[in-house]
Chains A and B, each alone.
Chain A
């Protein structure tokens, strides 16, 4: 209004008071505030924090509780292998070889060499007939007679009470002349056992099973029963031992691809798909419950038979794995550079995780963003509570609250919330409420002090003397004069509440995992190893807390100065 009255043509003296521009009080406060460099720094810091926390959480590609994994190679014991030297027995359906028979077989077969041997067990006479290297047929024998060779004359004599047909005799003759000790005639197996000089004992042979050192593995589960069946085993191994490429079992034709040395792969005749592998090496996984691929087993067997100490294996995913073999006793242990899935703990800063990951494999930067959200929210939630600021009548109540120790109270409250398993989000609001209830007393006390001192000031007496009504006295005179103090208290209080929240979270009583707050992030530093080795986990959170609290304090100071008209313009 006063400006309006200044006539532009009027010459004002240099020291005329009208030259001084008059600003509205609000503008003056604003102007004074923006002249305060520290306050502006504070505003910038706080703006950054808000953008960082509330916008950052949206922008960040990760969730705050997203766990990251990494793959790492570790030289782990992967499998063990052993060269089989225990005979395994395969019998036709239903038949069983007794333990005594098996033991006797193992005993006699050691010295057998190329020969067929016999032993007595379970009241029967057993014949062990060598079918091939480390491959024997075992059966019960019944003596029928003897075959004696005199020059070119072969004489077949029957035991008393037994009869030997001519067909059998002929077959026996041929067998002896051909150097074979086993022959078939009339659908019955016969065998010759070498006796004294050039005589043989002739007997029937009923085969009870075969004994083998080889290990057959079917590639598909459907073939398991077939592969471990007596008929298939006998036919397959016989073919392998005799160097044949094909064999028949149970009326089906198979193809055998052997590279010698006790190992082979079996195909169905009409298929190129491997059906089973044969090896004298037993490969088993080191971890229980795991299964090894057939190809892998074959590769191990191959390497062992080649006496290689390292081999490469292309796995199902097409990746090449490197394996090394070490002897341990009679066993071979296969180590592998295994690609394992690990939680990416304490990852160093990288492009994907600019501040690395924490002990739970979560992105530190993202957690800082979300954590700031909670820290700032807790702060402002409580400042909102301070809305009812004047409460001088409740000073005794204040005393009551002040006499409750703050931290033990908070710790108990935290423990109670633990006990009731309060969900993390509810917990935040409860925490704000409790901190508000516990924290308003300090501000109330300071404000009351200020009001008491203002009430005695002459200008308050003057308002009474001029008959200004009470509400006006409070809101026009008291409040504006308490305001700066209140603002400073509130902003500094905000800072200290963020610190309190950090303290509580640090102690594990505040914001609970997996929700993040700056305090709970710093909590990582309670581990000396983390503190010294993984700076990028806790230093940023600490810096953010310090900056935020500083920012609040700067802004608080700036506001106080701006509200104070006694300050320079």
Chain B
């Protein structure tokens, strides 16, 4: 089943607009530009971190990727040839196990009326991934792999703690033997000690099953820990993308710089040099002209509010969308 194609997922110019409807007949009066022109690719067995403020479109990228919400335009290609939006009915369902999702909230993501074993095994049975006589053993194995006891199979989700629930969610995803998992802020609802366990579990599973993650988070420390590449989003745009080491060592975009300056350093003697961003994130329904970040950017110039910045390749796989680095933009020349 497993494809040998190097990039598990390739995203090209992905756009997702949500219509704003009003009036009696649901006339579309505007669009929420949740995701605009986002492109990236993830290599097999690696983790891409996706960071950004709340409401910048990280989760929408994840869901649009999985075709849980239909995209407006752009392309999402899995394993080099599968376009989810072109699959229908049975074919779509059959492909679903390859790409999985772990939710932010471990409480609402488990049906309160099914026992855990059933939650984990339901889709396995649905897709006939293992023979019926091996089913119990398979579910037990997956649960063990995720740090759960097999006697907990008959328990209901409400009998578990948040961390355990997140393990159940992970087990549900892992049980389908996926290639790719979208982790939508999987640890932000958990307390710190549990976060570490879950992160480690994800890493262990990645090695064990050769998984590819899209790790969506606003916790930069976690992203720094788990990711191989990092994308930074602001108001629906991917403003910077680079390998983890590159981006943390050399953040180029003013927004990335501001974001990274907020990473707490666990050393009280170090004086943090935080870049404080003014104001709040603008409405994606009515985004600012030109560079969307210009309303809050310290380095904003006239051109920033007029021209949409191009995405520049700064070498070494490091891309950034900022006029500062674009010699043709006329930044700082007026």
Pairing of A with B? yes
Docked-complex contact B115 and A25, CB < 8 angstroms: yes
Known: A17-B151, A481-B111. Is A458-B105 also a contact (CB below 8 A)?
yes
Docked-complex contact A465 and B68, CB < 8 angstroms: yes
**A1-25 CB contacts (< 8 Å) to partner B:** 1-2, 5, 17-18, 22, 25
Q: Is B150 an interface residue (CB 8 A)?
A: yes
Can you list, as one digit per residue, whether each of B75-117 has a CB less than 8 Å from chain A (1) or not (0)? 0000000000000000011111101110101001111111100
Docked-complex contact B126 and A468, CB < 8 angstroms: yes
Q: Is A322 an interface residue (CB 8 A)?
A: no
Docked-complex contact B101 and A461, CB < 8 angstroms: yes
Q: Which residue of A lies closest to B152 (CB)?
A: A17
Q: Which of B21-29, B154-162, B296-304 contacts A (4 or more CB under 8 A)?
A: B154-162
Smallest beta-carbon distance B125→chain A, Å? 10
Known: A18-B151, A467-B126, A566-B158. Is A477-B95 also a contact (CB below 8 A)?
no
Q: Which residue of A lies closest to B92 (CB)?
A: A467
**B270-297 CB contacts (< 8 Å) to partner A:** none
Docked-complex contact B155 and A22, CB < 8 angstroms: yes
Known: A465-B66, A465-B101. Is A565-B126 also a contact (CB below 8 A)?
no
Docked-complex contact A481 and B112, CB < 8 angstroms: yes
Residues on the B chain within 8 Å of A477, using CB: 111, 113-114
Q: Is B123 an interface residue (CB 8 A)?
A: yes
Query: Which one of B66, B109, B114 contacts A476 once the chains associate, using CB atoms below 8 Å?
Result: B114
Docked-complex contact B95 and A467, CB < 8 angstroms: yes
The residue in A458, A464, A481 that gathers the most chain B C-beta atoms within 10 A of its C-beta is: A458
Can you list, as one digit per residue, whether each of A19-38 has a CB less than 8 Å from chain B (1) or not (0)? 00010010000000000000
Q: Is A466 an interface residue (CB 8 A)?
A: yes
Q: Which residue of A lies closest to B90 (CB)?
A: A469
Query: Which one of B105, B123, B150, B156 contacts A466 once the chains associate, using CB atoms below 8 Å?
Result: B123
Known: A2-B154, A465-B68. Is A457-B126 also a contact (CB below 8 A)?
no
Q: Is B323 an interface residue (CB 8 A)?
A: no
Interface size on A, residues (CB 8 A): 28
Smallest beta-carbon distance B70→chain A, Å? 12
Q: Is B326 an interface residue (CB 8 A)?
A: no
Interface size on B, residues (CB 8 A): 40
Q: Which residue of A lies closest to B154 (CB)?
A: A22
Docked-complex contact A457 and B108, CB < 8 angstroms: yes
Q: Which residue of A lies closest to B127 (CB)?
A: A467
Q: Is B322 an interface residue (CB 8 A)?
A: no
Docked-complex contact A464 and B68, CB < 8 angstroms: yes
Q: In whole angstroms, how far apart are the Cα atoms of A466 and B96 in the complex?
A: 6
Docked-complex contact B123 and A467, CB < 8 angstroms: yes
**B107-142 CB contacts (< 8 Å) to partner A:** 108-115, 122-123, 126-127, 136
Can you list, as one digit per residue, whether each of A449-468 has a CB less than 8 Å from chain B (1) or not (0)? 00000000111011111111
Docked-complex contact A459 and B127, CB < 8 angstroms: no
Q: Which residue of A lies closest to B126 (CB)?
A: A468
Q: Which residue of A lies closest to B110 (CB)?
A: A459
Residues on the A chain within 8 Å of B152, using CB: 17
**B3-39 CB contacts (< 8 Å) to partner A:** none
Q: Is A107 an interface residue (CB 8 A)?
A: no
Q: Is B153 an interface residue (CB 8 A)?
A: yes
What are 10 A-B contacts defined by CB distance under 8 Å?
A18-B151, A459-B110, A463-B111, A464-B96, A465-B66, A465-B101, A467-B95, A467-B97, A477-B114, A480-B113
Contacts A5-B151, A458-B105 given; 4 further ones with Cβ under 8 A?
Answer: A2-B150, A458-B109, A461-B109, A480-B114
